[in-house]
Amino acid sequence: MVAALLLLAACTTSTASVAPSSTLPSSTGVATTGETVPTTAAPTTAAPTIVSTTTVLAPTTLGPTTEVPATATPATVLTPATGGPATLAGRPADFLGEETIGSSFEGRPITAWHRGAAGGKVILVVGVIHGTENDGMKIVDQLSVAALPPGIDLWLLPMMNPDGVAHDVRGNGNGVDLNRNFPHDWTAISHKGNWQWSGPGPASEPETQAYMAFTERIHPALTLWYHQDLFRVSPSKGRDAPLRQAYAKLTGLPYETVDGPTSIYTGVAATWTRTTLPEAMSFIVELGSTLSVAEAAVHASAVLAVAQMA
């Protein structure tokens, strides 16, 4: 069944021309958290451009040694409708609305885009929760204009942590690691000034509260989160295991465990989502240290494939 759905997803993907990237993601990173140690990469703000050739090319690798499976031919590399990662200037025909779901600690808006089939299967994609791990926004950009399969009600949250993106830091404007701040199994970790501070209490931060209220309203069947730069999808024994395996196969990411001290897996957004919302599935995708436009298109195609499986 998974193989059939993957083939169906590949067939429904448009096939405009792309050029392979000369910059490939690395597998660097220290597995000390449920996600990754913050990187020093600056936020990506430039919108990709259309490559106008007549030959369809697939990147040969998404990492140093991992080949892209034959079923992972990338989606069309599209010029996103954004002038940057935070605004949707041009709107696709199936655009359903843009909504401010809350504000950051420093007062920046947290914006969600809605498109697809209203009342269909709700899929939520979060580009950024750690401010220094920004390449998920490139995938959100692709999804903002890509052709959607029938019946997909797609919500895109380019950044849950606009303060962190603005300052190029992991935490929010209060110095809190938002991915340690969720109330499920929250634990006091470290102190203010530490990169992994979990905050003064569970769900203490306005960004956490905004996300919780938003998802409790829309009830996503699947939520995907992007992090960097451990370059993998962690295995699962839950209902979402086939989706994780499919995503890893489609993108060429290793299907490997992220190891770390148990205490630092507490207060995690993806865990809160799948344990709190009925029938929800939610998992993290660890990108490499860099992501080209063509590689972002491969990931966008994988999102739409697993969305049909959810």
Q: Which of 167, 161, 249 is nearest to 210 (CA)?
A: 161
Report the CATH number at residue 237. 3.40.630.10
- Would residue 70 count as lying in a domain? no
- Would residue 25 count as lying in a domain? no
- Would residue 6 count as lying in a domain? no
What is the block-wise mean pLDDT of the chain (310 residues), using blocks of 10 residues?
38 34 33 36 36 30 35 42 52 94 98 97 98 97 96 98 98 98 95 95 98 98 97 95 98 90 82 93 97 98 97
- Would residue 28 count as lying in a domain? no
Contacts of 22 (CB under 8 A, 6+ apart): none
Please state the pTM of the whole predicted model: 0.75
- Would residue 61 count as lying in a domain? no
The answer to whether 110 touches 208, Cβ cutoff 8 Å, is no
- Would residue 5 count as lying in a domain? no
Quote the domain boundaries for residue 135: 95-310
- Would residue 115 count as lying in a domain? yes
- Would residue 54 count as lying in a domain? no
Supply the pLDDT for residue 33.
35
Supply the pLDDT for residue 278.
82
For the stretch 191-210, what's the b/e string if a residue is b when 16 or more beta carbons lie within 10 angstroms of its beta carbon? eeeeebbbbeebbbbbbbeb
Q: How many structural domains does the chain have?
A: 1
User: What sections of the chain are H helices per DSSP?
Assistant: 2-12, 136-143, 162-167, 206-218, 241-251, 269-276, 293-309
